[in-house]
Amino acid sequence: MRTINFKLSLLALITVSALFLTSCEKEVLTEGISADNAQKSAQIDAASDEVDGIIEESYMLGEGITGKSTVTYQTALPPCMTRTVVMSGLTRTVTLDFGTGCNMPNGNHLSGIITLVYQHDPVALSRTITFTYNGFTFNGIAFSGGGSVLRVLANTNNNPQSTATVDVTATFPNGGSAHRTGTKVREWIEGFGTPAWTDNAFSVTGNWTTEFSNGDVNSGLVTTALRREATCPFFVSGILELSHNDNIGTLDFGDGTCDNVALFTGPNGVTYTIQLGN
C-alpha cells in the first residue's frame, strides 16, 4: 500500500511540475520580454552608438570641421583602421576597414568594413550620410544592413547633432539574431572644441523596434536620455523602456559610472543584473 501511495505521490509531483513548467513557458512567451532579449538589445545599442561615433569622427576629419585645433587634435579613430576616400564629382565614398580585428581606444573590438557615402558641400549646415556594413563585427557580433545619418552642425542647443535611421541585423556568436529598425538622435553635449577626444560626451534619445529570431518583437523608447562618454565602451546612465504588447520593462544603465552592467526590470517587477558585454 505504501508503494502505491509513493507512486501516486510521485505521479502527482511530476504532473504539477509539468504544469508549472508549461505555465512559466507561456508566461515568457506572453510577456515577450526576457533578460536575454534585454541584454541583446543593449549590445545592439552599444554597437550602434559606437558606429555613430565612428561616422561622426570620419566625416569631420574628412571635411576638416572637427571644431578643434588641427595641430593638437587627437582623433578617436584607431591607427589599425584604414580609411580610403574615392571622389566622383561631389560624391565621396569612404571605406573604413578594420581588417580582421581592430581595437577602439575605449576597448571595443571591431572587424570588417563600414562604407560611407555623402555629397561634399563645404558651406552646408547639414549633411546626409548613408552607411552600409560589409562583414562587420562588433565585439564578436556580426552586423549587416545599414542606414542613414542626418548630421547638423548646430542644433537648438548650438551642439552638433546626428539623427540616424537604421535597418540592421545582428547575429550573435552564441546563437540567435535580431533585426533592428528605428531612429536615434545623438547630441554632442561635451568636448566639442577641445583638442582631446577623451572629454567627449553624448546624449542619446530615440525609439526603435527589435525582432528576435525566436519570434519576440520588442519596442524600445528612451525615457531618460542615455549618456555615452567617449572613454567608456558602454552607456553610463539613462533609461530605456522595452515593451511587448501591454507588457513593459525597463533597462537602467546606472548612475554615471563606467561599468559592464545594467539593471533590467521585467514586466513581473523582478530586477535582473545583465552584462552589457559578451
pLDDT tens digit sequence for 137-188: 999 999 999 999 999 989 999 999 999 999 999 999 988 999 999 999 999 9
pLDDT greater than 70 at residue 244 = yes
More confident site: 253 or 35: 253
* pLDDT band, very low/low/confident/very high, at 68 (cuts 50, 70, 90): low
* pLDDT band, very low/low/confident/very high, at 226 (cuts 50, 70, 90): very high
CB 178 within 8 A of CB 44: yes
- Tens of pLDDT, residue by residue over 82-99, are 999 999 999 999 999 999
pLDDT score, position 276: 86
Find the angle CA(108)-CA(131)-CA(96) to the nearest 5 degrees.
55
Q: Which of 30, 278, 48, 37 is nearest to 181 (CA)?
A: 48
More confident site: 216 or 122: 216
pLDDT greater than 60 at residue 67 = no
Domain ranges of the chain: 32-275
pLDDT greater than 50 at residue 18 = no
Mean pLDDT of the chain: 85
pLDDT greater than 50 at residue 13 = no
* pLDDT band, very low/low/confident/very high, at 278 (cuts 50, 70, 90): low
* pLDDT band, very low/low/confident/very high, at 72 (cuts 50, 70, 90): low
More confident site: 68 or 264: 264
pLDDT greater than 50 at residue 22 = no
Q: Which three cell numbers stand for residue 25?
A: 513557458
Please tell me the number of Cα atoms within 13 Å of 80 on its side-chain side: 13
pLDDT greater than 80 at residue 4 = no
Could you tell me which residues are beta bridge partners of residue 127? 151
CA distance 98 to 78: 9
- Tens of pLDDT, residue by residue over 183-202, are 999 999 999 888 888 999 99
| Amino acid making up residue 195 | P
pLDDT score, position 277: 74
Share of residues in the chain with pLDDT > 90 (%): 69
pLDDT score, position 174: 87
* pLDDT band, very low/low/confident/very high, at 12 (cuts 50, 70, 90): very low
- Tens of pLDDT, residue by residue over 24-46, are 333 343 356 888 999 999 999 99
Share of residues in the chain with pLDDT > 70 (%): 85
pLDDT greater than 80 at residue 3 = no
Q: What are phi and psi of 259, to 5 degrees?
A: -145, 180
Q: Which of 119, 116, 139 is nearest to 52 (CA)?
A: 116
* pLDDT band, very low/low/confident/very high, at 5 (cuts 50, 70, 90): very low
